[in-house]
Amino acid sequence: MNPECKTYSGTIKRPTEIADNLAAVEEKIAAAASDTGRDPSSISLISVSKSHPASAASGALAAGHRVFGENRVQETEGKWPSLRAAYPDANVHLIGPLQTNKTADAVALFDAIQTVDREKLARNLAEEMARQDRHPDLFIQVNTGEEPQKAGVLPLDADAFIAKCRVELDLPVVGLMCIPPVDENPALHFALLAEMAARNGLDRLSMGMSADYETAVRLGATEVRVGTAIFGTRPQRS
C-alpha cells in the first residue's frame, strides 16, 4: 500500500522548505539554549513526521536531519523500511500510545519508545527486549495535567513506576516525557517534569512541541518534538 495515499489532505512542503524550517527551528533552539547557558548540542530536535507522507521525512533526511517522531506502529511499518534502507542512521522515536499487543512490533521498529506508562506495557517491553535482544531507549510518559483522557502515569505514581521499571524490570529508562494540557501554561508542566526527572536521577526530558519548544528548552528539555513548524499542518485523519 502506498503511504502517500491519494486522500492526503495536508500541506505538502517542498524539500527546500523543510530544510529551511529545520534550520529555523534549530536556530531558535540554539538561542533558547544560550539564553539559559545550555550547550545547544545537548538538545535533540525530533522532527515529528507522523501523518505526513514518506516524502516529507525524506526531505528532512536529505537535508541531513536524522531524528524523527512517529505516533503509530502501523504507519511506521509502512513508511520507514524504505527510508531506513536509504538512511541506515535514521533514528525513529515512538511518541504515541502503545497498545500491549503491538509491543513486539514497537521493539523491532523504534530506536526509542517515549510512551511507557503502565506496568503491563513495561513487563511486555522487558520480555520483548530480552526475546529480540533489542534495547530501544525508553521514556516514561507522565500525565502532568492529570487529564483523564490522556495517557501517562500520574505524577503521584511516577516515582514508584520509574523505580519498578528500572530496578525490578531492568528497563533502559533514559528520561521522562510529557504533553501538557492544551489550555494551560506549559512552563508549569515542563518545570514539574524536570523536577521529577532530577529527583529520580534521569537525564533526559522530552518536552515541547511547535508552540512551546523554546520554553521547554529554557526549562531543560533534551528532546523537543516538533512537527507542524517543520512539515506544515497535518492532514485530518478520517
Contacts to ligand PLP by CB under 6 A: 48, 50, 71, 95-96, 179, 209-210, 225-229
Rounded Cα distance between 62 and 13, Å, is: 14
Q: Smallest distance, Å, CB 227 to ligand PLP?
A: 3
SS3 labels along 167-181: HHCCCCEEEEECCCC
Cβ-based nearer residue to ligand PLP, 92 or 95: 95
**Least distance between ligand PLP and beta carbon 170 (Å):** 26
C-alpha separations of 231 from 13, 20, 45, 120, 234 in Å: 6, 10, 13, 34, 8
- Of 167, 216, 174, nearest to 194 by C-alpha is 216
Provide, rounded to whole angstroms, the least separation between the CB of residue 234 and ligand PLP: 7
The three three-digit cell numbers of residue 70, written as one number:
512517529
Q: Minimum distance from CB of 46 to ligand PLP (Å)? A: 8
Cβ closest to ligand PLP, residue 47 vs residue 124 = 47
In whole angstroms, the minimum distance from the beta carbon of 51 to ligand PLP comes to 8
Least Å distance, CB 224 to ligand PLP, is: 9
Residue with the shortest CB distance to ligand PLP? 227
57 vs 126 by CB, closer to ligand PLP: 57
Please enumerate in sequence order all residues whose Cβ is within 8 A of that of 208, keeping only pairs 6 or more positions apart, or say none: 186, 190, 214, 215, 216, 217, 221, 224, 225, 226
Nearer Cβ to ligand PLP (51/58)? 51
Residue tagged 521547554 (cell numbers): 216
38/50 with CB nearer ligand PLP: 50
User: Residue 32 or residue 126: which is nearer to ligand PLP going by CB?
Assistant: 32
In the chain, the N- to C-terminal Cα span, in Å, equals 17
Stated as kind and residue range, the H or E segment containing 91 is strand 91-94
